[in-house]
Amino acid sequence: MADQPTALERFVQGILPENPVYRQLLGMCPTLAVTNGMKPAMTMACSVAFVLLCANIVTSLIRGLLKPHLRIVVFTLTIATFVTIADRVLAAYLYQMSKTLGPYIPLIIVNCLIICRCEVCASKQNVFTAASDAVGQSIGFGLALASIAMVRELLGTGGLFGIAILPTAWPDWVIMVLPPGAFITLGLLLGCVNWLEMRRS
Amino acid sequence: MNYLIDIVLIALSAAVINNFVLYYFVGICPFIGVSKKVDMAFGMGCAVTFVICIAAFLSWSITTMVLIPGAPVSSFFAGFFLPAEAASKIDLTVLSYIVYIFAISSSVQFVEMYVRKFYPSLYNSFGVFLPLITTNCAILFACLTIMANVAGVENPQDAWDLGRSIVLALFGGIGFTIAIVIMSGIREEIELCDIPKPFQGAAITMIIGGILALAFMGFTGVDSGVRKAITPAPAEGTAAVMTLDHDHVHPWDARVIVKEMRLS
């Protein structure tokens, strides 16, 4: 396999050219659910980054032992272990935030992004490549979450990270922090990204 | 009577008010991926409903029998090498995620094999969706909700029984089917429309999903109305007070947010 991308290429690919949210449409549940504010979105991005990095490294280390028909089960069990760790840590140090995120932390287990990276990259590459792929993809995921959360929090509450930015005369668009706002914001941003991509090529 | 009210409210809430897809955002992947044709969407919805009920049964049984402190199975086995009062305090809820995901994926495997062997026609209509369902968030979300209502309650009497759990799962699955079938109906029509090129595919699906979610927000508050309608009239002198139970409300519940915004 001579045309396999190198570690650096994989790292760069994950950030924009193959952004997990905008280009691959992976990991939609947390993308929509936790982006009503910057704080939950960033906590989510960090947890996903931790789980993705650890899961990719472990999967890459055991790639010689994997049986084809059992690999998905092995992936999910590996991920579930690290999600449990992340969940306990959040509950211990950021109790309020873990309450807010609620079921979406455990739902990282079934996040297609992580399973997809384990399947596509980590189960075939060495540890270093897998780790750099994980870091690149997590940065891309974090950027995507930040872009959506920024639009929603700014328009919905007139501030970022809970600090007021827009003048008080701004009528808060409550709908933006409610579920419909998530769908509409992501749809419009997705359209914009596609439009930019088309203009560039 | 109270039990019946509970069941009705859980069912109503899971199916329409707090729809799994449009309110909690679980199961978005099939909602975008498998919603091009109505019959495919219906098959997917049926498969999810079926698996979610099995998963709810398994997760309720495992949580009650093994995971929570004082559960019969774990305290029985711990009793061999621990004193009795320590054995009854064994708390295995930290293992819940691993146990659930294992239970879901193995049960899906068994169901797939069973259906393929004994009901080939059924397998041909929705069997292809079964492996996909393992990684469907809706299933795990139902398990987690059941766990929160069995292990997370303060009063042991408030813990959900098997009936409530199955009702939540069944109507959650029905809600998922409703959402995905509506979506696929709209998408079949939208094939004929002239959409700007960047918005074709996932982007327009998201925007339609937003409008659907907006429509489903209209159901907010139906549950308190129904509760008022079917609760027996209170005895003389006691006023029936409808309060919002903050601990059992989703943090982004429309009513909470709107109320907080009015206060601030």
B75-109 tens-digit pLDDT: 788 878 777 777 777 778 888 888 888 888 888 88
Look at the alpha carbons of A142, A41, A91, B66 in this order and tell me if their dihedral is positive or negative.
negative
B137 has pLDDT over 50: yes
pLDDT tens readout for residues B178-206: 998 999 999 888 888 888 888 888 888 88
Instruction: List, in order, residues 6 or more apart from B212 with CB less than 8 Å away.
Output: B22, B179, B182, B183
Interface-testing mutation among B24, B132, B255, B259, with chain A (most A C-beta atoms within 10 A): B24
Residues in B closer than 8 angstroms to A172, CB to CB, are 261
Summary mean pLDDT of chain B:
78
- Measure CA of the first residue to CA of the last residue in chain A; give whole Å: 28
Interface contact B214-A191, CB threshold 8 A = no
* Alpha-carbon span B70 to A59, nearest angstrom: 36
Has residue B37 got a pLDDT over 60?
yes
Instruction: Give yes or no for residue B45 having a pLDDT over 50.
Output: yes
B214/A180 Cβ within 8 A: yes
Q: Evaluate if residue B257 carries a pLDDT over 50.
A: no
Residues forming beta bridges with residue A159, ordered by sequence position: A164
- Give the pLDDT score at A3: 54
The backbone region for B119, taken as left when phi is positive above 0, alpha when psi lies in -120 to 50, beta otherwise, is beta
Residues of B in contact with A99 (CB under 8 A): 251
Q: Where are the beta strands (DSSP E) in chain A?
A: 159-160, 163-164
- Judged against a pLDDT cut of 50, whether residue B237 lies above it is answered with no
- Give the dihedral of Cα atoms A58, A59, A65, A68; nearest 10 deg: 160
- Hey, which residues 49-78 in chain A have their CB within 8 Å of chain B? 72-73, 76-77
Is-contact B223 B13, C-beta < 8 A? yes
**With contact defined as beta carbons under 8 Å apart, do A52 and A134 qualify?**
yes
Q: Which of B46, B14, B51, B225 is nearest to B136 (CA)?
A: B51
pLDDT for position B124? 75
Q: What pLDDT does residue B38 have?
A: 85
3-state secondary structure of A201: coil
**Of residues A77, A183, A190, nearest to B98 (C-beta):** A77
- Whether the per-residue pLDDT at B241 is higher than 60: the answer is no
Query: pTM higher than 0.80, yes or no?
Result: yes
Using 50, 70 and 90 to split pLDDT, how confident is the model at B243?
very low
Q: Which long-range contacts (CB under 8 A, 24 or more apart) does A1-6 make?
A: A4/A125, A6/A129
Q: Do A103 and B144 touch (CB under 8 A)?
A: yes
- Do residues A44 and A111 lie in contact, with contact meaning Cβ atoms separated by under 8 Å? no
A111: left (phi over 0), alpha (psi -120 to 50) or beta: beta
Is the CB of A24 inside 8 Å of chain B's CB atoms?
Answer: no
Q: Taking a C-beta distance cutoff of 8 angstroms, is the pair A177, B252 a contact?
A: yes
Token couple for A49: 């980054």
Which of B24, B25, B102 lies nearest to residue A77, judging by beta carbons? B102
Residue type, B4: L
Q: Where are the domains of chain B?
A: 1-262
The pLDDT score that the predictor gives to residue A169 is 77
Across the interface, whether the CB atoms of A179 and B211 are under 8 A apart is answered no
Does B245 score more than 70 pLDDT? Answer: no
Parts of chain A with a pLDDT under 70: 1-5
Q: Which helix (H) or strand (E) holds A115?
A: helix A112-117
For chain A positions 116-145, those within 8 Å of chain B (CB to CB) are none
CA distance B199 to chain A (A): 5
Identify the pLDDT of residue A4: 65
Contact A100 B251 (CB under 8 A): yes
Cβ-Cβ contacts under 8 Å, A35 against chain B: none
CB-CB neighbors (< 8 A) of B18 in chain A: none
Q: Residue B86: which H helix or E strand, with range?
A: helix B84-87
What pLDDT is attached to residue A51?
92
Kindly determine whether residue A72 and residue B105, on different chains, have CB atoms separated by under 8 Å. Answer: yes
β-strands A159-160, A163-164 pairing: antiparallel
Contact residues, B window 73-132, toward A, CB-based 8 Å cutoff:
94-95, 97-98, 101-102, 105-106
8 Å CB contact of B202 and A25: yes
H/E stretch holding B155: none
A99 in B contact zone (CB under 8 Å): yes
Q: How many CB atoms lie under 10 A from the CB of residue B36?
A: 14
**B190 in contact with chain A, both atoms CB, cutoff 8 A:** no
Q: How far is B189 from chain A (nearest CA, A)?
A: 19
Confidence of residue B242 (pLDDT cuts 50, 70, 90): very low
HEC profile of B157-221: HHCCCHHHHHHHHHHHHHHHHHHHHHHHHHHHHHCCCCCCHHHCCHHHHHHHHHHHHHHHHHHCC
Beta bridge partners of B242: none
Q: Name the pLDDT band for B114 (thresholds 50, 70, 90).
A: confident
Dist CA A44 CA A54 (whole Å): 16
Dihedral pair phi/psi, residue B172, rounded to 5°: -60, -45
pLDDT of residue A9: 76
Q: Is the pLDDT of residue B232 over 60?
A: yes
Residue B228's H or E segment, with its range, is helix B222-230
